[in-house]
Chain A
Amino acid sequence: MTGDKPLEIVLLEMFLLVLLGPLVTGFIQKLKARFQSRRGAGVLQPYRDLVKLLNKGSVQADTASGFFRSIPVLVLATTVAAGALVPVVQAGPPAFPLGDALMLLGLLSLARFLTAVGALDAGGAFGGMGASREMTIAPLVEPVLMMVVFSTALAHGTTELGILAEQRGASWILTWRAADFLGFAAMLVLLPAETGRIPVDNPDTHLELTMLHEGMLLEHSGPGLGCMMLASHTRQIVTLGLAAALFFPIGLEDAGVIGLLLGTLSFVAKILVLAAYLAVIESSYAKLRLFQVPQYLGIGFVCALMSLALRIL
């Protein structure tokens, strides 16, 4: 389905996501530090890390194949491509066929798959463990995320995020239906899992045996590691953007320069609120044991399924 959103705006949205991704991580880290009564690193620290990594040389394990070098670029590319599908500053479908929410989730899981393959390819013990754990969690998270999308899509008869955001444009919590509440509850449960944060994964640790995502990055170095980190920043903001587009698509209606500015401002506000939620959750809970994660995600699953059931019955 095509609409009237020009290519420039889609590209602008994509670059905005990539550009703001590290800032969201920095914001969450700063907020967490404040909760722990520390001063914490500046909000711009993730950018400094990225610049530092991109200027370094890279080393590679002897056991890794040639494919290993291309992994970071591929992961970054798929994640950024997923970013193009999220309506950021303007609702409505793009003027050319691009893809819908299923495509977005597919690209995100492709990035996840590539990361895991890279970790296995390098042959490190931690990488293999991280990969197998990530692949254990992923089939629990992705179907539930899809059900949340379906539950919203069912009400509007389309899975194209732009049209969804446009049709729900005027909607706000006051106009939410019962199914929206349950869907949003499921989304809130899933967000920490999908962005790799406590209580499912701990993004700050490189020392524990329990690490999931960080374990897979251990064998990467230099620019490759930089790409992987940028990809995980982007993945985080894309997931938050998906949640915002599904449940708070407000302020995206207008075209024109003022509309774009308004859309950007409202997008930043929504992302900041969701990021603050992640920081609060991360500061107030401990990481779950791996075998308790299915139970935690089960809450999300039941909520999503009930949200679907409420739409149908």
Chain B
Amino acid sequence: MSIEIVHRIINDFGALLLFTMILIVAANQISGAIYAVAAQSLFIAIAGAVLATATGNVDLWIIAGITLIVKAMVLPWLLLWVIRRMDVKREVEPVIPTLTTLALAMVVVVMSFHLSASLDTVRQTITGNALPVGIALTLNGVLVMATRKTALSQMVGLFSSENGIFFTAMAVNKGMPLIIEIGVILDVILAVLVMTIMVLRVRSTVDADIADLHRLRG
């Protein structure tokens, strides 16, 4: 594959990733956001496979496979299981109106494209639009975490934030060392597991959401 085709495919996947990000921000129901983040991870896995064929880097194949299995299948399934198990409210509870969040998300995307245009030399070592898309995904994930009340929907934000970091790291020429990528993925798995267990425990002992913890004083 020529380098132009790879650039274009990565750009196209960048657009799809941004679309799934919008769906996550605009989702009314937690399950909708989880499906969107699963689709996002799937796109990242495919993009990783494309980069792996283009660069002939075996590590990227492994990373794409791990992303596909862990982040596109196991973790979303885990989150959906928690929702079914806990019988929580299925609606996302935003702190500020979703429409405002959408507007903020848009500002983040446009700003990250605008800013990364000034990073010309850095951008050349990164494939296509991966840098601005990665920054946009990361910051929007933080935005989702900041504007949601319940722990489950904040986890979705953490997920997509991590996806953004992953996408950028993958698109850096020939990818990052395997050990670092695996370390990052393990971090996320651990975080999600801990948070899931915590949510389950908190739910089963006291009926509370994150906003109620503000009143908790030691």
Chain A interface (Cβ < 8 Å from any Cβ of B): 176-182, 185, 292, 294-296, 298-299, 301-303, 305-307, 309-310, 313
* B138 to A: closest C-beta gap in Å: 16
Contacts of A178 in B (CB 8 A): 11-12, 14-15, 129
State whether A310 touches B99 (Cβ < 8 A): no
Query: Of the 9-residue stretches B19-27, B159-167, B180-188, which lies at the interface with chain A?
Result: B19-27
Contacts of A307 in B (CB 8 A): 15
Chain B interface (Cβ < 8 Å from any Cβ of A): 8, 11-12, 14-16, 18-19, 22-23, 26, 28, 98-99, 102-103, 105-106, 109-110, 113-114, 117, 129
User: In the complex, how many residue pairs between chain A and chain B have their CB atoms under 8 Å apart?
Assistant: 63
Instruction: Pick the contact of A299: B11, B26, B109, B129 (CB < 8 A).
Output: B26
* B100 to A: closest C-beta gap in Å: 10
Q: Which residue of A lies closest to B19 (CB)?
A: A185
Contacts of B110 in A (CB 8 A): 305-306, 309, 313
Instruction: Pick the contact of A181: B12, B26, B106, B114 (CB < 8 A).
Output: B12
List 28 contacting pairs A-B, 8 Å CB cutoff, sorted by A: A177-B8, A177-B12, A178-B14, A179-B15, A181-B12, A181-B16, A181-B19, A182-B18, A185-B19, A292-B28, A294-B99, A295-B26, A295-B99, A295-B102, A298-B98, A299-B102, A301-B102, A302-B22, A302-B103, A302-B105, A303-B19, A303-B22, A305-B106, A305-B110, A306-B18, A306-B22, A309-B113, A313-B110
Contacts of A305 in B (CB 8 A): 106, 110
State whether A313 touches B102 (Cβ < 8 A): no
Contacts of A303 in B (CB 8 A): 19, 22
Contacts of B8 in A (CB 8 A): 177
Contacts of A306 in B (CB 8 A): 18, 22, 106, 109-110
Contacts of B19 in A (CB 8 A): 181-182, 185, 303
Contacts of A299 in B (CB 8 A): 22-23, 26, 102
If the complex has contacts A178-B129, A298-B99, are A309 and B109 also in contact, measured as CB distance less than 8 A? yes
Q: Which residue of A lies closest to B5 (CB)?
A: A174
Taken together as a complex, chains A and B put the C-alpha atoms of A306 and B14 apart, in Å, by 12
* A247 to B: closest C-beta gap in Å: 14
Contacts of A313 in B (CB 8 A): 110, 113-114, 117
* B120 to A: closest C-beta gap in Å: 13
Taken together as a complex, chains A and B put the C-alpha atoms of A181 and B106 apart, in Å, by 16
Contacts of B12 in A (CB 8 A): 176-178, 181
State whether B15 touches A310 (Cβ < 8 A): yes
Q: Which residue of A lies closest to B105 (CB)?
A: A302
